Amino acid sequence: MDLKQKKVYIHTIGCQMNVYDAEQMERGLSPIGYVRTPEIGDADLILLNTCAIRAKAEQKVFSFLGRLVKLKNERPELIIAVGGCVAQQEGKRILSRAPYVDAVFGTHAIGRLPEIIEKIRAGQGPVVDVALSAGEAAFNPFPMSDTGHHPPEKSISSFVTIMQGCDNFCTYCVVPYVRGREASRHPDRIAEEIRTLVAGGVREVTLLGQNVNSYGKKEGLPTFTQLLERISEIEELSRIRFTTSHPKDLSDELIGAFGRIEKLCRHIHLPVQSGSDIILSRMNRKYTRKEYLAKIDRLRGLCPDIAISSDFIVGFPGETGADFQKTLELIQQVRYDSLFAFKYSDRPQAPAARFSEKIDEAVKAERLGEVLDLQQRVTLERHRSLVGQDVQVLVDGYARKNEGRESGRGIQWTGRTDTNKIVNFYGGQDPENTVKGDTGACGEEIFSGRMISVRIKDAFPHSLSGVPLHPAAIGPGTKGEKHHAA
């Protein structure tokens, strides 16, 4: 084995699951001598981590690959490997479209990535590995504790996969075909990984699964709520988030966890997809609008301030103007904190690709615009109602705009409330409004990873801004008590 240090560039397209998988790939390659580089030009190995959820994401994969031809021609020893959902879906067809690709590895092959790369280095390529395995073997092949490889420095928030795959077969969705059957990871493994993350400075974890509400059912493991309870016992961990929940499986037990488990953030992503029962049934979602709304009522009954977000698909085959109006009404009725909306996109493996009454692209675009405009108004109204309130912000780091440069008002910091709202504030110089830490002028040490009380002063469509309250508001990674104006 050649142990000389080599560089891997990882390009990730798609969801949080892929971001997590990219970290797994990085960890797996470290023992065979690869370190991650942010510069594609420096790479000895390029990994493309792909998404198949909509046609547009898939197109991105092939346009990215197209741009690699030149690099490969200049340096034939460069290794190009394609992983993730498009790799799983297309398998060796990727090699016919892009013959310069050295490896295609599917969503369950991450554990075999080091062997795959070694094979190519030994001249035994190209390799195609898209076998789907069952159970634990399918995921988390490289626990952090094994390699001593910690999360990226100063990372406050981290994803942790607790489940793989999906058994729901919504008719528009490719996930069950490219991620395989649902499988849950053992709670001991999950807790171990979170403890390692926390030791590296992480204060917030987001538990990932296609449908976390059915966690452990197949395997006879503890329920998802019991898992949350167990994780919440990890000291130094301030916040727990999770995504995604299928509304049909949202149990009263989990609803009850909001407000009861202190570290559980008051936010739930509850994708509804459509406000029309006819469309919901054709989507095979297995709930009605009424049942969905009843769950929202129960959530708000127990936890009035809970933030609720959702996903919507517009222009599903057969969606009439009346169906679409029902979607708009639902958005108005629920008054979501935020939402994601997508134009329906045919996925060849998913049954809806063969449904008739396809909707015109122009109509889809119009409907998408209406949904987004409506939600933008609702979000802004919701944000404005927070002006004057004091919120607890877990600070991520520098706000993107100033990247830590000092303005006359200090350094701008950014973080999130437990309800997942972005809050920016200045800190570092202004004696009136600054929360001072104990490490002096260099802000990073002072604020990142801290829970800070901020009084909201201004509301924008995508964020809020405010001023930090009195120094007493600082707690190193603690949840912090409610603070009122000094």
Residue from 163, 227, 313, 456 touching ligand 5AD (CB under 6 A): that is 313
- Which listed option, ligand 5AD, ligand SF4, none, makes contact with residue 313 (CB within 5 to 8 Å by class)? ligand 5AD
- Which listed option, ligand SF4, ligand 5AD, none, makes contact with residue 169 (CB within 5 to 8 Å by class)? ligand SF4
Report d(CA 227, CA 162) in Å as an integer.
10
Q: Decide: is 166 part of the binding site for ligand SF4 (CB under 6 A).
A: yes
Q: Which stretch binds ligand 5AD (CB under 6 A): 97-105, 113-121, 343-351, 357-365?
A: 343-351
Instruction: Supply the DSSP string of 440-462, one letter for each residue.
Output: TT-HHHHHTT-EEEEEEEEE-SS
> x/- contact string, 254-273, with ligand 5AD (CB under 6 A)?
-----------------x-x
Q: Which residues contact 445 (CB under 8 A, 6 or more apart)?
A: 437, 439
Residue from 46, 52, 53, 79 touching ligand 5AD (CB under 6 A): that is 53
Instruction: Give the distance between the most distant pair of CA atoms in the chain.
Output: 69
* Other Cβ atoms within 10 Å of 39 Cβ, number: 8
Residue from 168, 414, 434, 448 touching ligand SF4 (CB under 6 A): that is 168
Nearer to ligand SF4, 207 or 464 (CB): 207
Instruction: Supply the DSSP string of 71-82, one letter for each residue.
Output: HHHH-TT-EEEE
Asked whether the beta carbons of 82 and 101 are under 8 A apart, the reply is yes
Q: Decide: is 51 part of the binding site for ligand SF4 (CB under 6 A).
A: no
Asked whether the beta carbons of 435 and 471 are under 8 A apart, the reply is yes
Instruction: Supply the DSSP string of 302-328, one letter for each residue.
Output: H-TT-EEEEEEEES-TT--HHHHHHHH
Q: Three-state secondary structure along 379-404?
A: HHHHHHCCCCCEEEEEEEEECCCCCC
Chain position whose Cβ is nearest to ligand 5AD: 311
Q: Decide: is 170 part of the binding site for ligand SF4 (CB under 6 A).
A: yes
Nearer to ligand 5AD, 36 or 347 (CB): 347
Q: Decide: is 211 part of the binding site for ligand SF4 (CB under 6 A).
A: yes
Q: Decide: is 84 part of the binding site for ligand SF4 (CB under 6 A).
A: no
- Which listed option, ligand SF4, ligand 5AD, none, makes contact with residue 83 (CB within 5 to 8 Å by class)? none
Within 203-334, strands assigned E span 204-208, 239-243, 267-269, 307-314
Count of alpha carbons within 13 Å of 134, Cβ hemisphere only? 3
Nearer to ligand 5AD, 54 or 263 (CB): 54
Q: Decide: is 344 part of the binding site for ligand 5AD (CB under 6 A).
A: yes
Structure token digits, residue 178: 């490219």
* Other Cβ atoms within 10 Å of 38 Cβ, number: 9
Report d(CA 483, CA 440) in Å as an integer.
24
Nearer to ligand SF4, 113 or 173 (CB): 173
Residue from 155, 345, 379, 453 touching ligand 5AD (CB under 6 A): that is 345
Q: Decide: is 279 part of the binding site for ligand 5AD (CB under 6 A).
A: no
Instruction: Note the residues at the interface with ligand SF4 (CB under 6 A).
Output: 166, 168-170, 173, 175-176, 210-211, 246
Instruction: Note the residues at the interface with ligand 5AD (CB under 6 A).
Output: 53-54, 172-173, 271, 273, 311, 313, 342, 344-345, 347
